[in-house]
Chain A
Amino acid sequence: MPENTMVESTRENIVTRLFKALRLPLNDPFAVFGLAVYAVFLLTAVFADQIAPYDPTEILYTPDYDLAADLRPGEQGHVLGTTSLGRDVFSQIVHGTRSALLIGVTAAFMVALIGSIVGLVSGYFGGWVDAVLMRLADIAFGIPFLPFVIVLAAFLEPSIWNVVLAMALVLWRDTGRVIRSQVLTLRSRGYVDAARVSGSSDFKIILRHIAPNILPLSFLYGSIAIGWAILTEASISFLGFGDPSSISWGYMLQDAFASQALAKQSYYWFVPPGLCIILVVSAGFFITRGYENILFPKLGR
């Protein structure tokens, strides 16, 4: 038993240490607002089945057995009305949080992970490894991102994972470069030299002495990437290269656009998904800004 509790306590230690290392910006009201928005969307995504009154893809009928198409908000108890196919807009919005958060978080994780590894390896080892990785970053900067995702869609099955794949292939470049320059300054610090002299392996030095210091930066770029991923997924779905079987906000906008919602003035259909995207993405921006104020207090504006 004592062994067990020790494991437990060190594990908890790691969790709290990690939490501290993330240095959440809790003193900035906008950042707190952003975190609150994230929390609400996270809860909505988890409990989507309980919150949404209908299945988002279910075609609904009125009590007189007519297609419940193009109902205005409030009609027949539909909070935000229905689509031209008779689907409940509110339920689609609620279920859209799932794909938005899923894609946002996985893409951000990939971008932060790949960018951090490239930055760490490149900055720490230098030499030809650095040269090769930075030339790769140059190439990634030369690839127009959205067109690249579209071209990928020409070869791959339509799926939201194309966006994650494309982000992992291209968008690590910014994170990688910034973290590399940070590692370059960390590498020459005294405690790193001390660790090296006392015989620590490169792997151990990177993991124990350098990586913890760049964690906030990774998180910063990760939170920028969440917004990018959601916006990109929306664009891709809007252009018709998304996954037709999963309901996302971008898909809703494409559906509305293709069904003449603009001419029909069905604002209740195409305004809410856009507002949701803006809310989540700007929440990410506000968190990012709070971070920047902590990480680079000199900018303090």
Chain B
Amino acid sequence: MSHLKAAASRTLQLAFVLWAVVTMLFLMFRLMPGNPLAAYIDPTFTEEQQQALMAQFGLNEPLWKQYLIYLGNLLQGELGQSFRYREPVAERIMTLLPNTLILTFSSLIIAYAFGIIAGAWLAWRRGALVEKTAIPLVLTTRAMPEFWLGMVLLAIFSFWLGWFPAGGTRPAGANYDSLFALYTSSDFLTYLALPALTLAIYSQGLPLLLMRSNMLDVMKEDFVTMARIKGLSNWTVVVRHAARNALLPVMTSFAIAVGYQLQGNVVVETVFSWPGLGRELVNAVSNSDYPLAQGAFLMIAVVVILMNLIADLLYALLDPRVSHA
């Protein structure tokens, strides 16, 4: 019961955070210099479009009423009209979201698979020369600007060796019957490879270091000593007994990593012209397409907050000690 209560209060807390971020966004875009209508209406919209948006967002009402209308519209998924694309922001965002999620999850899965195995191995080889050189090396990958890594990989594998295309998600002129057909085509994989690799190289440090330090903790536990005394092979001790138990906290960090990854996506998507939320946010801001910028930011924030919640709930579930904290 207390589990449920703690989960409910955590959910409420994050609902509050979401509301605060939404409110902050409202104020930022209203209080910006210049015409207050500029957040929703582009001067080149037709008279009718302008009138429709005025009515829809209550732009001639007092600020507090506008705020309520804004919240109401948000709840219905109404984010206004993009200046550049002349289509509803919500639609635009929903077509970009899958691209961003595919990039994020494929890179994180590679990063976690590698990081978990390498981390466990390094913990096992504690004190060896490999371990002593590997750890600073991993820290160095965390110090790399992701977009720079993307540029170097592009220069080598795309422009020099010609193994991979330089950007986008599909060959010029290629058409697919459905999004599913695109995402399962082998072309798509060649386009995905470099950006996913870039993000994976950056992200493997977190699971690797976490796995390693958890393993070091677990290996000191009595049941591991016991397994050794029983005469079990090193492999059985490390994999069956230690790694299994060290793995749980690493898996919960996955949710947090998704949130961080979305931020890294912004630059990497730009380098590889990957049509995702991050690149759209950058383009929208450069083109003063305020509704789209607002929508893209909001979508990223929602995913980040949602992932924080999932991580919290998982922690509480796996480690009963934290549920009442």
- Provide the bound-state CA to CA distance between A138 and B19, in Å: 12
Closest beta carbon of chain A to B130's beta carbon, Å: 15
Q: By CB atoms of chain A within 10 A, which of B270, B271, B282, B294 has the most?
A: B282
Query: CB of A47 within 8 A of chain B?
Result: no
Contact status A142-B14, CB under 8 Å: yes
Contact status B308-A147, CB under 8 Å: no
- Provide the bound-state CA to CA distance between A147 and B281, in Å: 8
Q: In chain B, what residue has the closest Cβ to A150?
A: B285
Closest beta carbon of chain B to A21's beta carbon, Å: 26
Contact with A along B268-284 (1 / 0, CB 8 A): 00110000001001100
- Provide the bound-state CA to CA distance between A271 and B270, in Å: 18
Contacts of A271 in B (CB 8 A): 152
Contact status B297-A151, CB under 8 Å: yes
Closest beta carbon of chain B to A29's beta carbon, Å: 10
Contact status B304-A142, CB under 8 Å: yes
Contact status B144-A265, CB under 8 Å: no
Contacts of B278 in A (CB 8 A): 147
With A142-B308, A143-B21, A147-B278 already in contact, the answer to whether A155 and B152 are too (CB < 8 A) is no
Query: CB of B216 within 8 A of chain A?
Result: yes
Contacts of A301 in B (CB 8 A): 213, 216
Contacts of A30 in B (CB 8 A): 136
Contact status B17-A139, CB under 8 Å: yes
Q: Say which size band chain A's interface belongs to.
A: 35 or more
Contact status A144-B151, CB under 8 Å: no
Query: CB of B52 within 8 A of chain A?
Result: no
The listed residue (B18, B145, B160, B296) touching A142 by CB distance below 8 A is B18
Contact status B285-A263, CB under 8 Å: no
- Provide the bound-state CA to CA distance between A127 and B304, in Å: 29
Q: In chain B, what residue has the closest Cβ to A142?
A: B17
Contacts of B151 in A (CB 8 A): 253, 256-257, 262, 270, 274
With A144-B262, A146-B263 already in contact, the answer to whether A139 and B301 are too (CB < 8 A) is no
Contacts of A235 in B (CB 8 A): 145-147, 266-267
Q: By CB atoms of chain B within 10 A, which of A145, A146, A284 has the most?
A: A146
Contacts of A231 in B (CB 8 A): 143, 145
Query: CB of B189 within 8 A of chain A?
Result: no
The listed residue (B149, B216, B285) touching A154 by CB distance below 8 A is B285
Contact status A257-B144, CB under 8 Å: no
Contact with A along B149-167 (1 / 0, CB 8 A): 1011011001110000010
Query: CB of A153 within 8 A of chain B?
Result: yes
CB contact list, A269-284 vs B, under 8 A: 270-271, 273-274, 277-278, 281-282, 284
Query: CB of A238 within 8 A of chain B?
Result: yes
Contact status A141-B17, CB under 8 Å: yes
Query: CB of A286 within 8 A of chain B?
Result: yes
Query: CB of A267 within 8 A of chain B?
Result: yes
- Provide the bound-state CA to CA distance between A239 and B286, in Å: 9
With A30-B136, A139-B21 already in contact, the answer to whether A277 and B285 are too (CB < 8 A) is no
Q: By CB atoms of chain A within 10 A, which of B144, B262, B294 has the most?
A: B144
The listed residue (A148, A253, A282, A289) touching B148 by CB distance below 8 A is A253
CB contact list, B223-238 vs A, under 8 A: none
Query: CB of B33 within 8 A of chain A?
Result: yes
The listed residue (A139, A146, A273, A284) touching B266 by CB distance below 8 A is A146
CB contact list, A159-201 vs B, under 8 A: none
Closest beta carbon of chain B to A100's beta carbon, Å: 12
Q: Which 4 A-B pairs have the closest CB atoms?
A: A281-B143, A274-B148, A282-B143, A142-B17
Q: Can you offer 27 A-B residue contacts whose CB atoms are under 8 A?
A: A138-B13, A139-B21, A139-B24, A142-B18, A142-B21, A142-B301, A142-B308, A143-B304, A144-B263, A146-B264, A146-B267, A147-B278, A150-B285, A227-B143, A231-B143, A234-B145, A234-B148, A238-B147, A253-B145, A270-B152, A274-B151, A274-B152, A278-B143, A278-B145, A286-B136, A289-B139, A299-B213
Given contacts A142-B14, A238-B147, A277-B145, 10 further A-B pairs with CB under 8 A are: A142-B301, A142-B305, A143-B24, A144-B262, A147-B300, A147-B301, A151-B28, A154-B293, A240-B282, A282-B143
Which A residues are within 8 Å of any B CB, using their own CB? 30, 135, 138-139, 141-148, 150-151, 153-155, 227, 231, 234-235, 238-241, 250, 253, 256-257, 261-263, 265, 267, 270-271, 273-274, 277-278, 281-282, 284-286, 289, 299, 301
